[in-house]
Amino acid sequence: MSAATPPTAPAAPPASGPGLWRRLRRNRLAVAGLVVLVIVVTTALLAPVMPLADPAAQVRSDRLLPIGSEGHLLGTDHLGRDLLSRLIWGARTSLSVGVLATLIAALIGSLIGLVAGFAGRRVDSVLMRGIDVLMAFPYLLLAIGLVAVLGPGLINAMIAISVVNIPFFARAVRGTTISLVSAEYVDAARALAFSPTRILFREVLPNVLPVIIVTMSTTVGWMITETAGLSFLGLGAQPPTSDWGAMLGAGRDFITRAPHVMIVPGTAIFVVVISLNFLGDGLRDALDPRLK
């Protein structure tokens, strides 16, 4: 045992590096999505150094100015706040909450899936029945229920969104794990008397990683929409934090008089989510060994 060199995974090594990029590049939509996302993320990151108005500063007599007004490129909202500034600052909240929620759900969900798939039998049953209970609730309803318990706020909304997404990771990962448990290299590792933990994390996990990445890339868009949904309902970001969902919710009351207040954040959510989905699809195709 002590002399054994750790066996490297012989089957289906995770796709990465130049190969991945080459395959992804062939998918024009995915590339377009990536470009848009890079632009959005860069803009959001640069918000503090950009010459933007304070997103919380109100000039209440200048309310509901239309797009293209002087000094307010995208106009102002119902309290006379600059919409462009709120949109860019809002990107920071909306995107970071969406991504963080995805990471949390991926971490917990994958762990559950890995353990359930690897341990099998009773552990599997207990863990997956728990997951089934989570899945039995309507998606957004469960999130709203969690926020009702935790109290409104961005962090709580993020926790709620993470929790309702755990089942998706757990199930996808468990399925793949089960198919890998009987793989030859896992048998080999067992024969070498590696500890189960080591087999799980050194042998199984690297091969499940593509599944996790694909699930993440396809759900992060949903996560952003859901966070926006909670904020829209007033359960997410608390004023004056700008957040796309909250902006959308506030604009709803002015849809006939000043539709841009709703259109601006609505378009932003649409563009980002669709870019994420294109990119997610591209990644899935690129990472799927059968499509090589």
Partner 1 sequence: MTTQMQRWTSGPGRRLRTVMASLLAVSLVLAACGGDAADPETPDDPDAADDPGAAGDADLGDPLVVGQVAEPASLDPHQVTAVNDFRININLYDGLVRYEDDSLGVEPALATDWEISDDGLLYTFALRDDVSFHDGSPFDAEAVKFNFDRMLDEDHPDHDTGPFPLANQFFGQVAEVRAVEDHVVEFELSQPFAPFLSNLAYPTGLLISPAAVEEHGEDVGRNPSGTGPYVFVEWLGNERVTLERNPDYWDGPPGVSGVVFRPITESQTRVTELLSGGVDLIVEVPPDDVAPLRDDSDLTVQEQAGPHVWFLILNLAEAPFDDVRMRQALNYAIDKQSLVDDVLQGTASVAAGPIAEAFGWAYNPDLEPYPYDPERARELIEEAGYGDGVDVTFFVTEGGSGMLDPVPMGEAIQADLREVGIDAAIETYEWNSFLDEVNAGIEGKADMAQMAWMTADPDTLPYLTLRSNAWPEDGGFNSGYYANPEVDALLEAAQVETDQDERARRYHEMQEIVVEDAPWVFVASWKQNAAMSADIQGFEVHPSFLLRLHDVSRS
- Interface residue with partner 1 among 78, 142, 202, 259 (CB under 8 A) is 78
Q: Which stretch binds partner 1 (CB under 8 A): 13-21, 180-188, 248-256, 282-290?
A: 248-256
Q: Is 66 in the site for partner 1 (CB under 8 A)?
A: no
Q: Is 202 in the site for partner 1 (CB under 8 A)?
A: no
> Which residue has 């294109």 as its token pair?
278
- Interface residue with partner 1 among 80, 130, 145, 259 (CB under 8 A) is 80
Q: Is 145 in the site for partner 1 (CB under 8 A)?
A: no
Q: Is 149 in the site for partner 1 (CB under 8 A)?
A: no
Q: Is 43 in the site for partner 1 (CB under 8 A)?
A: no
Q: Is 141 in the site for partner 1 (CB under 8 A)?
A: no
Q: Which stretch binds partner 1 (CB under 8 A): 36-44, 163-171, 207-215, 253-261?
A: 253-261
Nearest CA-CA partner of 54 in 72, 42, 32, 33: 72
Q: In this structure, how many other beta carbons lie within 10 angstroms of the beta carbon of residue 177?
A: 26
**Which of the 8 DSSP states describes residue 248?**
H
Structure tokens of 219? 């759900």
- Counting beta carbons within 10 angstroms of the beta carbon of residue 288, is it exposed (0 to 12), middle (13 to 18) or buried (19 or more)? middle
Q: Is 64 in the site for partner 1 (CB under 8 A)?
A: yes
* Cβ pair 243, 93 in contact under 8 A: yes
Give me the least distance between CB of 33 and partner 1, in Å please.
Answer: 34
Cα–Cα dist 24/8, whole Å: 26
Q: Is 139 in the site for partner 1 (CB under 8 A)?
A: no
Cα–Cα dist 144/264, whole Å: 25
Q: Is 259 in the site for partner 1 (CB under 8 A)?
A: no
Q: Which stretch binds partner 1 (CB under 8 A): 91-99, 207-215, 238-246, 264-272?
A: 238-246
Q: Is 57 in the site for partner 1 (CB under 8 A)?
A: yes
Q: 282 CB contacts (<8 Å, ≥6 apart)?
A: 24, 27, 29, 30, 31, 33, 34
**CA dihedral sign, ordered 104, 173, 11, 203:** positive
Q: Is 153 in the site for partner 1 (CB under 8 A)?
A: yes
The β-bridge partners of 285 are none
The answer to whether the bond into 240 is cis (omega within 30° of 0) is yes
Q: Is 234 in the site for partner 1 (CB under 8 A)?
A: yes
Q: Is 238 in the site for partner 1 (CB under 8 A)?
A: yes
Q: What is each CA distance from 210 to 33, 107, 290, in whole angstroms?
A: 20, 14, 13
Q: Is 26 in the site for partner 1 (CB under 8 A)?
A: no
Choice between 9 and 97, CB closer to partner 1: 97
Q: Which residues bind partner 1 (CB under 8 A)?
A: 56-58, 60-61, 63-64, 78-80, 148, 151-153, 234, 238-240, 250, 252-258
